[in-house]
Amino acid sequence: MTGNDIVDLDLAKTQSNWRRKNYLNKIFTAEEQLLIASAENPDAMVWLLWSMKESAYKIHNRKTGLRNFAPKGLKCMIHSNTYGEVNIDGDTYFTKSNIQTPFVHTIASAVYKHLEEIKISIYGAPDHLFDYKSTNPACVSHHGRYLALVY
């Protein structure tokens, strides 16, 4: 199984004020908050961690059938600029992220080596206005101007 999440960073700036009081406490663990506070680019770190949580949750939800998105219960660890993992209820999901100026995109898999096998297509509006469902993606994510499909 594969999960993916994309965050349009321009839209995130206008839709979400993560710096407001107690916002981080509701979504991120103490360790994740330390990563954000010590990051060279705290905005990018917030959305990197968010996309890791979302992409792993998509797999976990399909696996368990449970729809309980409790972000603090999804614990992220970053191993490098690109790779990390998310632990949810004793299950580990491996992640690979791509941080660009306009977006952050993360893919997730329950098997680490599968990360390199996942095919990714990212489209910016209006280029994603086509029948993408007919391409049979394993997971779809969209936010703002961006559509991310994984196969």
Over the stretch 40-96, which tens digit does the pLDDT of each residue have? Answer: 999 999 999 999 999 999 999 999 888 887 899 999 999 998 999 999 999 999 999
Q: What is the full DSSP assignment across 47-104?
A: HHHHHHHHHHHHHHHHHH------GGGEEEEE-SSSEEEEEETTEEEEEEEEE-SSEE
pLDDT of 127 > 90? The answer is no
Question: What is the pLDDT, as a whole number, of residue 130?
Answer: 82
The average pLDDT across 93-122 equals 97
117 — phi, psi (to 5°)? -95, -15
Q: Are 74 and 91 in contact (CB under 8 A)?
A: no
Domains of the chain, by residue range, sit at 2-117
Question: What is the pLDDT, as a whole number, of residue 113?
Answer: 96
Q: How do residues 18-28 score in pLDDT, each as one tens digit?
A: 999 999 999 99
pLDDT of 149 > 80? The answer is yes
The average pLDDT across 5-10 equals 98
Q: Which fold has domain 2-117?
A: Ribosomal Protein L22; Chain A (3.90.470)
Question: What is the pLDDT, as a whole number, of residue 91?
Answer: 96
Rounded CA-CA distance 122/91 in Å is 28
The pTM for the full model equals 0.94
